[in-house]
Amino acid sequence: MDGIWVPIIMFLVIGAIVIVPIWLKSRERIEMQSTLRAAIDKGQPVPPEVIEALTRNVKVPPTSLSDIRTGVIWLAVGIGIGLFSYFADFADHDVDFPGLGIACIPAVIGLAFIVLSFFNPNKPKSA
């Protein structure tokens, strides 16, 4: 029974590391919005810095350029895993097939992102 606590605590800590920052950020945003709402109700002008702070973390839709970049990174990860699998088992060639199969997963994700970049209606803004 003592050995079960180690994985339970490990998963709780990992969950806390992921959930607590998200919760704190949403709480901060809710407080900012309520303060802004109270200021608007009292008729005070809203400074542009506050509006910029509220819109800074808004996610923009992906462009074709960001899709290509993401696809190239995933494709490189797949190629890297495949090459590692091949060269790690260089003396014993029948063992590298599982590694190459695992390498296909990120490689296919990368190819999907690259293909999606051609169909993405959001073109990057030219400078």
Q: Please state, as a whole number, how many other Cβ atoms lie within 10 Å of the Cβ of residue 71.
A: 19
Q: Please state, as a whole number, how many other Cβ atoms lie within 10 Å of the Cβ of residue 50.
A: 13
Can you tell me the distance from the alpha carbon of 15 to that of 37, in angstroms, rounded to the nearest whole number?
33
pTM: 0.54
In degrees, rounded to 5, the angle at the alpha carbon of residue 43 between the alpha carbons of residues 37 and 46 is: 60
Angstrom distances, CA of residue 126 to CA of 63, 67, 70, 117, 123: 12, 16, 19, 16, 9
**Lowest mean pLDDT segment, chosen from 23-27, 54-58, 92-96, 100-104:** 92-96
> Domain-by-domain residue ranges, the chain?
2-55, 64-119
Amino acid identity for residue 45 in this structure = P
**What does the pLDDT look like over 25-75, one tens digit per residue?**
899 888 888 888 888 888 888 878 877 777 777 777 788 888 899 999 999
In degrees, rounded to 5, the angle at the alpha carbon of residue 108 between the alpha carbons of residues 69 and 112 is: 55
